[in-house]
Amino acid sequence: MGAGVLEGYTDRLAKHLVGDDSRRAAILDEVMDGLQCAVEGNLQDCSDAEEAARRAVREWGPPGEVARAYNDATLRLSAQRLSLRAVCVLPLLAATWAAALLGGPAGPWAVRHPPLLLTGISLVAFGCVICLAGAFSGLRKGTGIRAAVERRDDTVTTGTLAALSGLLCTLGALVLLLLNRGLSHPESLDWPMVSVPATLTVLSALYFGLHFKRFVSVVRGVDPV
């Protein structure tokens, strides 16, 4: 049923698609199923399978335009997932750090906190604000009927990038604060308790750092289509 024509179309489409391998494979399977259904419909008034396949390809439109629609959906889906995960990880980290620090020995600063600590806390607060504001902005602009009808990719992308940047800033500041206190006043930390939030912080930094890089590559991949 014009398999060569359909495979040629999906091969051209695949060159324009962005996202991970599983997402791209699912899109190509969906397109192929749609094309085959279109071919079957065209065979009702066309006995030539190759011609029916060519008609189906024309009905679907240029591969670049089809890929753009799928890429927009991939970008929006990735943005929503990352924004939600960024919002969810902050309360978890806050709870584990609070439990570890409040349940351990008292801090070594009796009267005056050192400037490095105040700077680190300011970075943590700033990162949390940027993360939450960006995540909620991207989620608000990326959902609903209007978002499905109107193109809001710039707003969604900007919000998610801000959320991930703020979260990475927060995670980096937490690691630096822990290293500073651990090296200068190791007796002020309950290390078994601190190891839990510290491990979560490092793993979160690795996870979101990797996904930040992937998300940027997806954003860059959408533009040329």
Q: What angle do CA 169, 173, 179 make, to 5 degrees?
A: 150
pLDDT in tens, 29-71: 999 999 999 988 888 887 888 888 899 999 999 999 999 889 8
Comparing CA positions, the residue from 117, 123, 112, 130 lying closest to residue 166 is: 130
pLDDT band at 223 (very low <50, low <70, confident <90, very high): very low
Which pLDDT tens digit goes with each residue over 61-117? 999 999 988 988 888 888 888 999 999 999 999 999 999 988 888 878 777 788 888
Mean model confidence pLDDT for the chain: 86
The yes-or-no verdict on residue 144 having pLDDT over 60 is no
Report the distance separating Cα 93 and Cα 107, nearest Å: 19
Report the pLDDT value the prediction gives residue 32, as an integer from 0 to 100.
93
50/12 Cα distance (integer angstroms): 18
